[in-house]
A and B are shown apart, each in its own frame.
Chain A
Amino acid sequence: MANNGILVVAVSSRGVLPPAAYELVTAGRALADALKQPLSAVVLSEKASALAPELAARGVPTVYAVESPALAGFLADVHAKAAAAAAEKTGAGTILVSGGVAGKELAARLAVGLKAGLATDVSEILPDGKVLRPIFSGNLVAEVEFKTPVRVLALAPMSFARAEKGGTPGKIEALAFAAPASRAKFVSFQPETSNEIDMGSAERIVSGGRGLGGPDGFKPVFELAHALGAAVGASRAAVDAGWIPYKHQVGLTGRSVRPKLYLAVGISGQIQHLAGMSSSGTIVAINTDKDCPMMQMANVSVQGDYAELVPAITAEIKTRRGASAAA
């Protein structure tokens, strides 16, 4: 049957599958069960045949491996062609892609190629086929409906749980792919040299703002983040002041994040910042001003001087860890 089935598209340009791929499996499994449609996945990578077993081991019944040197670095046109080959092979009506930089490029290019409706930043898939996504910087949540037989969904990172290994292992099939000629050439990838955790896939983020008073204020923030295994974020004010690089910026002109725990230190909570983090699971605010928007919206608020509180929290966490390690 045409346009029947759910296809998960997993892209790997770094030799491992990104954690977001396992979020797609969870969303795909739920949708396949609800619609009683078959679930399949495709891995697009230079090392696809080595990575496909990761998805098969998570109960995806059929995993296609598209392996080609042309997929070594991410190029939207080349990857979209490869994804389209899998879409054609499976006849899937719903295609799930992760919502990072590469995922969105792939989804956009694929949607035009398949004449499919596209929604990005999808946080929920409703039983009636509509999906939820933020509009107006998260001030409204839109229910998006599709008018096309095929739909492409780029899922907001951290919106679905990561599938664990289990279930009936799936079968793996290689899918032949002739890379198209592209006017885009992949030159190089320069990884972040620091050992920092990426905000987009972090379960915990500790973020600092203007209240830190200067670049040195980020020192205790990094120490707390390290103790928590958290990524470090920042408000625009702190980035614009040059206290921390742009890549840490959360909010409208920075990144949108959705960790389980967002700890905001010295961030008053301007609407531009809130737009990038208000869908976090639990928000903890530390601020001297108990009436600022961040303290008002937080699930847990602690009033006080960050310079005393943050090191105290770090010390407390280390003490508890030490206690549990001893026990």
Chain B
Amino acid sequence: MGLHIVVCVKSTPSGVNVPVDPATGRPKTAGVPTGVNPYDEYAIEEAVRLKERVAGSTATALTVGAESAADVLREAVARGCDAGVLVAGPEFDGGDSYATSLALSAAIKKLHAEKPVSLVLFGKNTSDVGAGVVGVQTAAWLDWPCATGVKKIDPEGESAATVARGMEDGTDVLSLGLPACIATVKEINEPRLPSLKGKMAAKKATFAKWGAAELGLQPGQVGAAGAATAVAKAAPPPARPAGVVVDGASAAEKAKKLVDILLERKLI
């Protein structure tokens, strides 16, 4: 039968230099070039690798975003996913991790009813908001087990997976009963570039599009209305004061001056 792997992806600004709109005081992302969130590339690659490893498996890419977010589903198909689902509509605008994870969980439930889901993969975080919690919050709505920081996934048949979770001081090994949600890190794989065959498939791909109504959600549960938090304003971090340049005729002299500064500032 194989695994059904869902990989959640997001369309994010391609660069991180996003201007602040002086009128609203909030980041201005309209018109900024977008692409697949770079951290999601590892999740897509892992979904495809698991698919290749367990015969009969399928991988479905899922995104919540604007209509244009279909581009990241196309990218996922080009990299080897079989299908994509676009959750879109004006009601989803302005969602935070709370509202977005609820929408994702509803879409996963719908996919699960069509074809039972085994694993839901996520990137470490997004390059825009970057909270790094949507995968776990999605798991919480679904009441499924979860792990983040995952650098290795070994399916144990089709009912469980052993995962290695990178902690600050070592590695946790967990066994997750499936279905489960897993957020991956860069260490898990090296993403491949899209193949020619993949690119052809992506060109022809069409995607199911679901709004709040199709997910069985009220408009007030998603987007800004369903969000638990909002960005009131944003600003560049305060500029660092101009630095001190350490000069000297020799390495030893420079070292002496540097250590003087570090001691004076009580840094060592």
7 example contacts (A-B, Cβ-Cβ < 8 A) are as follows: A121-B131, A144-B231, A147-B229, A261-B262, A299-B243, A309-B255, A316-B259
Do A147 and B251 touch across chains, with their CB atoms under 8 A apart? no
Do A112 and B172 touch across chains, with their CB atoms under 8 A apart? no
Do B255 and A184 touch across chains, with their CB atoms under 8 A apart? no
Which of the 9-residue segments B54-62, B138-146, B199-207 touches chain A? Answer: B138-146
The answer, yes or no, to whether A102 is at the interface (CB within 8 Å) is yes
Interface hits, B109-147 → A, CB 8 Å: 124, 127-133, 136-137, 139-141, 144-147
Closest to B144 in A: A183
Do B16 and A301 touch across chains, with their CB atoms under 8 A apart? no
Do B229 and A119 touch across chains, with their CB atoms under 8 A apart? yes
Give the residues in chain B near A254, CB-CB below 8 Å: 186
Looking at the assembled complex, report how far the CB atom of B113 sits from the nearest CB atom of chain A, in whole angstroms: 19
The answer, yes or no, to whether A116 is at the interface (CB within 8 Å) is yes
Interface hits, B157-191 → A, CB 8 Å: 162, 165-177, 180, 185-187
Do B145 and A304 touch across chains, with their CB atoms under 8 A apart? no
The answer, yes or no, to whether A75 is at the interface (CB within 8 Å) is yes
Give the residues in chain A near B153, CB-CB below 8 Å: none
The answer, yes or no, to whether A94 is at the interface (CB within 8 Å) is no
The answer, yes or no, to whether A67 is at the interface (CB within 8 Å) is no
State the 8 A-B residue pairs at the shortest beta-carbon distance, nearest first.
Answer: A183-B177, A117-B228, A108-B136, A112-B140, A184-B145, A312-B255, A108-B133, A308-B251
Give the residues in chain A near B165, CB-CB below 8 Å: 101
Closest to B267 in A: A261
**Residue of A146, A184, A278 contacting most chain B CB atoms (<10 Å):** A184
Which of the 9-residue segments B67-75, B212-220, B232-240 touches chain A? Answer: B232-240
Give the residues in chain B near A188, CB-CB below 8 Å: 172-173
Complex CA distance for A309 and B257, rounded to whole angstroms: 12
Do B17 and A139 touch across chains, with their CB atoms under 8 A apart? yes
The answer, yes or no, to whether A234 is at the interface (CB within 8 Å) is no
Whether A136 touches B141, Cβ cut-off 8 Å, given contacts A247-B166, A279-B237, is: no
Whether A135 touches B258, Cβ cut-off 8 Å, given contacts A119-B229, A185-B174, is: no
Interface hits, B1-60 → A, CB 8 Å: 13, 16-18, 20, 27, 38-39
Do B228 and A186 touch across chains, with their CB atoms under 8 A apart? no
A interface, how many residues as a size bin? 35 or more
Interface hits, B72-118 → A, CB 8 Å: 96-98, 101
Do B265 and A282 touch across chains, with their CB atoms under 8 A apart? yes
The answer, yes or no, to whether A145 is at the interface (CB within 8 Å) is yes
Do B251 and A312 touch across chains, with their CB atoms under 8 A apart? yes
Residue in B18, B141, B144, B265 whose CB lies within 8 Å of A140: B18
Do B133 and A120 touch across chains, with their CB atoms under 8 A apart? yes
Q: Is the interface of A mostly helix, strand, loop or mixed?
A: mixed
Give me 10 other A-B pairs in contact (C-beta within 8 A), A184-B147, A190-B173, A316-B259 excluded. Answer: A76-B136, A112-B137, A117-B228, A135-B231, A136-B18, A139-B236, A191-B170, A302-B258, A313-B255, A316-B256
Give the residues in chain A near B166, CB-CB below 8 Å: 101, 247
Whether A186 touches B174, Cβ cut-off 8 Å, given contacts A118-B98, A120-B131, A121-B130, is: yes
Do B139 and A109 touch across chains, with their CB atoms under 8 A apart? yes
Do A253 and B133 touch across chains, with their CB atoms under 8 A apart? no
Do A316 and B252 touch across chains, with their CB atoms under 8 A apart? yes
Residue in A140, A182, A187 whose CB lies within 8 Å of B235: A140
Give the residues in chain B near A316, CB-CB below 8 Å: 252, 255-256, 258-259
**Residue of A138, A139, A283 contacting most chain B CB atoms (<10 Å):** A139
Do A73 and B172 touch across chains, with their CB atoms under 8 A apart? yes
Do B27 and A140 touch across chains, with their CB atoms under 8 A apart? yes
Interface hits, A283-327 → B, CB 8 Å: 283-284, 290, 296-305, 308-309, 312-313, 315-317, 320
Give the residues in chain B near A144, CB-CB below 8 Å: 229-232
Give the residues in chain B near A105, CB-CB below 8 Å: 136, 146-148
Closest to B236 in A: A140
Interface hits, A78-126 → B, CB 8 Å: 80, 100-102, 104-105, 107-109, 111-113, 115-121
Do B140 and A101 touch across chains, with their CB atoms under 8 A apart? no
Residue in B96, B101, B265 whose CB lies within 8 Å of A112: B101
Complex CA distance for A134 and B238, rounded to whole angstroms: 12
Complex CA distance for A102 and B20, rounded to whole angstroms: 33
Do B16 and A134 touch across chains, with their CB atoms under 8 A apart? no
Closest to B233 in A: A143
**Residue of B39, B98, B235 contacting most chain A CB atoms (<10 Å):** B98
